[in-house]
Amino acid sequence: MIVLENTTELLVPIDHLEKIADRLTEKDIELVLCNNDFIQDLNGIHRRKNDPTDVLSFPMRGGREHEPAGSIVISMDKVKEEAIRREHSEKDELSLLFIHGVLHLLGYDHEKDNGEMRALEEKLISYFNLPKSLIVRTEED
């Protein structure tokens, strides 16, 4: 189940995101949708980067059976910007960022692994008929 905190005025395809989450984990996920200012503050605190980013993940690592997977924070300003830039829907962009965030919650790390996160991300993108993955786009830019 997704526990949603939407601090924006944008409508969110929560049913679609639930399908993605259900494909990956049985654990609950907190999803916070915010603006660039909010995520920039978090990015500065947690990653020491003073700029807005698109998605941040905060996994719960306690190992308890009924503990949530963690929290994902997504900038809806970035969702809108990238959807326009990439010429696809906001729903697709939000889905891509959500998949990326959930994989991080589950312990995947594309900066340290040998392509496992990228491969799984690409399988999910194909399954849900989405555009290029976040990892692939980053490598191409």
User: Which CATH number do you get for residue 27?
Assistant: 3.40.390.30
Q: Can you give the pLDDT at residue 14? A: 94
Q: Can you give the pLDDT at residue 112? A: 86
Q: Can you give the pLDDT at residue 139? A: 58
Q: pTM of this prediction?
A: 0.90
Looking at residue 125, the DSSP 8-state letter turns out to be: H
- How many distinct structural domains can be found in the chain? 1
CB 103 within 8 A of CB 121: yes
User: Which residue ranges of the chain lie beneath pLDDT 70?
Assistant: 62-65, 133-141
* Selection from 127, 128, 121, 79 nearest residue 103 by Cα: 121
Q: Can you give the pLDDT at residue 111? A: 82
Residue 129, judged by CB atoms within 10 A of its CB (0-12, 13-18, 19+), counts as exposed
Can you give the residue range of the structural domain that contains 84? 2-140
